[in-house]
């Protein structure tokens, strides 16, 4: 047996036993947080211990209260303090790190752009002046519909500088999705671009933005970045301006960072929920920023001299917290990649790690599964020895993928942090602190210091170790969402009401995830318990997809569930009942797929459309999704005895197979 095989067997055995992996000594010696007493410190000195996070920021005026619980669950953090996020991410680093790289951007065609802190500061100031000149006032919501180009973080930081909250809409979302979000936020300003590159080809984006604007109720002025230059000519209308023209007009302008109250909104981020309407999650200036900086420091082990690479898209919360705000608040170098991991070849990520001497890599299980499928020859082509820590986020990681990541990317000398969190939590919640705990593949770890989480049953009572239940968080934390934008009522309904424990007079945050906890306090997250799918680490509401489908002529009813998918984790399975006079044929199937792509985007594209005579329903008329999931997964069908129409189940299963 070769050494490699032997190792394979040994790793396999350790995984079987769920044996723990120790962090390498070399890592522990240099780590930011090494004192295990930190857990106790937070517990005994709660909430004051959170000053540790606040101390990572520069304040214009000091806060007087760490946590104000008087209007729970509208918790407030660091009240009385004021600060500016752009000042914290830029200005304060200029003296010592002005010439160091803040952003190292890699374009898909291989071009690179580096912004030192000095240069980033300069462009952010100029763009802040542009925004002001365009009439953007403090508290106006500015929407960004942009791919991974440097102008996106620049625009975000410029907004932060003048106190205008940003709302970034993922560039892969459809025109409709943009319109829904801009209408919900009542946003009159849009920053977008003409297009970007995908697999080497220019992809037009402005057309999609313009199409979306047609359905926006308010008047909107747009600023358009010319990313494609000669590859795509575009004309600008009267309410559209060219980014670089406007910037040139403000050359050398400086804008004082406005003083924002700790609780002032830094940004809005729309995410999917169980109803058709996306939720506008509101994050604040102090609590969010302190939390993003603290977790970047404690979990990702970021130091100013590091080069750190997160492969997420800034259009999602991971990119906000861990490409932009956390890393830049700490003054480090953040690598940003425009494109896909398999263009021009499947070693693109490893080429970036190698060329940029990346110290920490933060990516998603869905990507790791793809790397694994492509094979170890791709990472093996490169020198990955600069890596010190690996991270994963977005969905549960299966031990096999964990092991591959550990061995072939981390060369068994990097700890892996499996970080559980959500758009709503602002930053990581459940994960190991890499120098303190051992790792258990597949299990995220204990709640971070100061985070109080538990696994409970329907009645809110803790379940015993090893049993599945609902994950809850029973103390507030600085990075938590403050409300759903303009919808306090829904905020309470969605996250607090149902699962709170009134007799204890205690609010409990319910993230809608199932989980189990082991005797040692490690939490294994099992997945969503609401009607939200997790496709390649992206959250999609089944209701949103269903309402797109029922809008197609000929469709009477639709149900969407998640089916297991080797690469994506979950895939979209749809069951459709046609109206009388319509046939479930190939044409209708295509129309359904297109409708979903138009209303949400290609990420929501159904894996399967099954035309069925009826949907399995309980006597009270509720669709039994569990059965549809079993069908999607080709599993033995569960109990059908509570159904009004048990006979349809076999029929649907047969149709699903035939299709």
3-state secondary structure of 75: coil
Position among 77, 170, 420, 485 found at the interface with ligand WT7 (CB under 6 A): 420
* Torsion (CA) 232, 236, 237, 243 in degrees, nearest 10: 130
Position among 285, 332, 334, 419 found at the interface with ligand WT7 (CB under 6 A): 419
Position among 88, 295, 318, 542 found at the interface with ligand WT7 (CB under 6 A): 318
324 secondary structure, DSSP code: I
Label residue 644 exposed, middle or buried (CB < 10 Å: 0-12, 13-18, 19+).
middle
Position among 82, 84, 88, 271 found at the interface with ligand WT7 (CB under 6 A): 271
396 belongs to the binding site for ligand WT7 (CB under 6 A):
yes
Label residue 597 exposed, middle or buried (CB < 10 Å: 0-12, 13-18, 19+).
middle
84 belongs to the binding site for ligand WT7 (CB under 6 A):
no
Give one DSSP letter per residue of 171-182, joined into a string: TTS-HHHHHHHH
394 belongs to the binding site for ligand WT7 (CB under 6 A):
yes
3-state secondary structure of 579: coil
Distance of CA 397 to the CA centre of its chain: 16
Nearer to ligand WT7, 222 or 419 (CB): 419
Q: Using alpha carbons, select from 411, 362, 414 the residue that is nearest to residue 388.
A: 414
Site for ligand WT7 in 298-317 (CB under 6 A): 316-317
Which one of 208-216, 398-406, 418-426, 572-580 is the stretch in contact with ligand WT7 (CB under 6 A)?
Answer: 418-426
How many residues belong to the site for ligand WT7 (CB under 6 A)? Answer: 22
| Strand pairing category for 307-310 and 468-473 | unpaired
Which one of 203-211, 328-336, 389-397, 549-557 is the stretch in contact with ligand WT7 (CB under 6 A)?
Answer: 389-397
Give the number of other CB atoms < 10 A from CB of residue 59.
17
Distances from the Cα of 426 to the Cα of 75, 344, 382, 612, angstroms: 14, 34, 34, 41
Position among 263, 264, 354, 513 found at the interface with ligand WT7 (CB under 6 A): 513
Nearer to ligand WT7, 429 or 576 (CB): 429
Joined tokens for residue 522: 């490690």
528 belongs to the binding site for ligand WT7 (CB under 6 A):
yes
C-beta of 236: minimal distance to ligand WT7 in Å? 33
Give the count of alpha carbons within 13 A of 265, CB side only. 22
Residue with tokens 């929407």: 143
Site for ligand WT7 in 533-572 (CB under 6 A): 534, 539
C-beta of 203: minimal distance to ligand WT7 in Å? 23
Site for ligand WT7 in 443-462 (CB under 6 A): 444
421 belongs to the binding site for ligand WT7 (CB under 6 A):
yes
C-beta of 427: minimal distance to ligand WT7 in Å? 9
Nearer to ligand WT7, 216 or 370 (CB): 370
Nearer to ligand WT7, 446 or 511 (CB): 511
Longest Cα–Cα distance in the chain: 73
Nearer to ligand WT7, 158 or 433 (CB): 433
511 belongs to the binding site for ligand WT7 (CB under 6 A):
yes
C-beta of 177: minimal distance to ligand WT7 in Å? 14
322 secondary structure, DSSP code: I
Joined tokens for residue 568: 């994506």
Question: Which residues bind to ligand WT7, rule: CB under 6 A?
Answer: 271, 316-318, 393-396, 418-423, 444, 511, 513, 525, 527-528, 534, 539
């Amino acid at each position: 047996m070769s050494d490699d095989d032997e190792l394979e067997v040994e790793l396999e055995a350790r995984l079987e036993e769920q044996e723990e992996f120790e962090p390498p000594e070399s890592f522990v010696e240099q780590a930011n947080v090494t004192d295990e007493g930190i857990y106790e410190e937070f517990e005994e000195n709660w909430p004051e211990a959170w000053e540790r996070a606040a101390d990572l920021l520069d304040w214009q005026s000091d806060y007087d209260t760490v946590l104000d619980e008087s209007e729970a669950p509208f918790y407030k953090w660091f009240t009385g303090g004021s600060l500016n996020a752009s000042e914290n991410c830029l200005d304060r680093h200029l003296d010592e790190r002005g010439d160091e790289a803040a952003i190292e951007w890699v374009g898909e065609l291989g071009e690179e752009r580096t912004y030192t802190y000095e240069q980033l500061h300069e462009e952010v100031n100029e763009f802040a002046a542009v925004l002001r000149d365009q009439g953007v006032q403090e508290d106006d919501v500015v929407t960004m519909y942009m791919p991974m180009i440097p102008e996106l973080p620049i625009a975000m930081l410029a907004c932060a500088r003048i106190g205008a909250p940003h709302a970034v809409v993922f560039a892969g979302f459809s025109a409709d999705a943009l319109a829904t979000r801009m209408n919900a936020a009542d946003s009159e300003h849009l920053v977008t671009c003409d297009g970007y590159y995908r697999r080497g080809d220019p992809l037009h984006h402005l057309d999609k933005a313009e199409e979306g604007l047609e359905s926006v109720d308010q008047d909107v002025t747009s600023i358009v970045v010319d990313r494609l230059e000669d590859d795509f000519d575009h004309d600008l209308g009267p309410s559209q301006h060219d980014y670089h023209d406007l910037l040139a007009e403000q050359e050398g302008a400086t804008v004082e960072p406005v003083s924002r109250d700790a609780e002032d909104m830094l940004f809005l981020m729309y995410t999917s929920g169980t109803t058709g309407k996306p939720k506008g999650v509101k994050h604040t200036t102090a609590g969010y920023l302190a939390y993003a900086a603290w977790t970047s420091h404690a979990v990702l082990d970021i130091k100013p001299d590091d080069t750190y690479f997160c492969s997420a898209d800034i259009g999602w919360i991971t990119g906000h917290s861990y490409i932009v705000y956390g890393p830049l608040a700490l003054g480090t170098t953040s690598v940003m990649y425009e494109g896909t991991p398999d263009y021009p070849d499947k070693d693109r990520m490893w080429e970036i790690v190698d060329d940029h001497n990346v110290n920490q890599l933060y990516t998603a299980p869905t990507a790791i599964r793809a790397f694994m499928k492509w094979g170890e020859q791709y990472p093996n082509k490169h020198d990955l020895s600069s890596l010190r820590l690996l991270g994963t986020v977005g969905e549960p990681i299966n031990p096999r993928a964990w092991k591959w990541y550990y061995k072939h990317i981390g060369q068994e000398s990097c700890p892996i942090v499996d970080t559980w969190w959500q758009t709503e939590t602002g930053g990581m919640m459940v994960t190991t602190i890499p120098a303190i705990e051992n790792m258990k593949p597949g299990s995220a770890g204990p709640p971070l210091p100061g985070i109080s989480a538990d696994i409970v049953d329907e009645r809110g009572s803790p379940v015993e170790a090893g049993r599945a239940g609902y994950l809850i968080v029973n103390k507030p934390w600085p990075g938590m969402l403050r409300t759903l934008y303009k919808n306090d009522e829904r905020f309470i309904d969605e996250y607090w009401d149902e699962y709170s424990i009134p007799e204890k007079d205690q609010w409990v945050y319910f993230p809608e995830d199932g989980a189990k906890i082991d005797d040692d306090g490690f939490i294994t997250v099992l997945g969503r318990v609401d009607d939200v799918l997790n496709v390649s680490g992206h959250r999609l509401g089944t209701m949103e997809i269903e309402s797109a489908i029922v809008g197609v002529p000929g469709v009477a009813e639709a149900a969407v569930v998640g089916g297991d998918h080797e690469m994506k984790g979950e895939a979209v399975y749809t069951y459709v009942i046609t109206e009388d006079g319509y046939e479930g044929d190939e044409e209708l199937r295509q129309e359904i797929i297109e409708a979903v792509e138009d209303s949400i985007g290609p990420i929501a594209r159904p894996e399967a459309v099954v035309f069925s005579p009826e949907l399995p329903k309980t006597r009270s008329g509720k669709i039994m999704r569990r059965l549809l999931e079993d069908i999607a997964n080709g599993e033995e069908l569960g109990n059908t005895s509570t159904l009004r129409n048990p006979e349809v189940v076999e029929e649907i299963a047969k149709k699903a197979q035939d299709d």
